[in-house]
Structure 1
Amino acid sequence: MLGKRRTLGRTIDKLEVGETIHLTEKMTDKDLLLYLGLTNDNNPLYIQHDLAALTPYERPIIPTIMLVGFITSAISKYVPGPGSHVIAQHLQFPNPVYHYDTIEFDLEIVEVDVEAKTIVVSIHAMNREQQTVVEGTVSVLAPPAID
């Protein structure tokens, strides 16, 4: 918003190893359609039930980049918050996420580098069947100190 100064998230000196956040996200048609429209991604595996039935997945899946979007959104909103910037990610997606799945995301700060003003956030996400759907780490540049 132009003209309105927003509060930034926590600076590097206010972040500690061991901080956690837990989020629950439901994979909705709206989210999927917004992603597909924004990216012009027309992979039939994401929307065509008849084609997906012929694959090992057996039904349409959620694009992994949508899961990354939920993670980066949590970082931008909460840990460390507004003004932070993802600079690297190392993520694996061992199991697919299907339409209408509910995913539990756990984020934990596992490293704080005060000199570089970065943190490393561990990511672990599971579906309702307690299968891991995302695991890995994200490196984040903490918000700058603005006086």
Structure 2
Amino acid sequence: MYKLEEIKVGMVESYSQTMSEADVKNFANISGDRNPMHMDDLYAEKSRFGKRIVHGMFSTSFFSALFGTRLPGPGCIYVSQNIKFRKPVYIGDTVTAYVEVKHIDPARRRVYFDTYCKVRSLKVITGTAEIYIPE
């Protein structure tokens, strides 16, 4: 884990994963979200997306993984997250999640991040997060 004093504006960490059929089914089972947009080919084919999409919250869960294991690392506390879903993620897409330090408030022990996910060069999810760093 990074100590608060070691964190600098501009630091970035990332994580990539290719979204599989098994991942979507597992996430549906864990989350309880069995929306047919994620689970039913015939239903999704009639949608504006033309095929099934991966749960948006599945992709955003990678932010939590990055915060808890890389930057800042174990022991940090997720305080808030803003999310905007800009484009769909499809089964077979490789999603890369990024967290980038934008501001540090040493008095409150808070670090503020830009968070985003890309598929190829397209930003499919954007947002911001606030993380508390315990002493």
TM-score normalised to structure 2 length: 0.93
- Match in the other structure for 2:115: 123
Residue 133 of structure 1 aligns with which residue? Answer: 124
Q: CA-to-partner distance for each residue in 1:36-91, whole Å, 9 max, x for gaps?
A: 11122211100111000000011000111111211111111101001111111111
In structure 2, the residue matched to 1:73 is 65
Q: Which runs of 5+ in 1 are unaligned?
A: 1-8
- Paired residue type of 2:103: E
- Quote the Cα distance in structure 2 between the aligned partners of 1:88 and 1:65: 14
User: What SS does the aligned partner of 2:125 have?
Assistant: strand
Distance 2:115 2:130 in 1: 11
Cα deviation code 1:102-143 (max 9, x no counterpart): 012222101111111110111122112x2211111111111x
Which residue in the other structure is 1:114 paired with? 106
Identify the residue that residue 40 of structure 2 maps to in structure 1.
48
Identity percentage of aligned residues: 21
- Distance of 2:67 and 2:113 partners within structure 1: 9
Structure exhibiting the larger radius of gyration computed from Cα positions? 1
Of 91, 96, 101, the match for 1:104: 96
Matched positions, count:
135
Aligned-residue RMSD, C-alpha: 1.2
- Distance in 1 separating the partners of 2:34 and 2:129: 27
Q: Does 1:83 align with 2:75?
A: yes
| Contact 2:25 2:39 survives alignment (8 Å) | no
Q: TM-score of the superposition, structure 1-length normalised?
A: 0.86
Residue matched to 1:93: 85
More strand as a share of residues:
2
Q: Is the 8 A contact 2:24 2:54 kept in 1?
A: yes
**Match of 2:127, as an amino acid?**
G
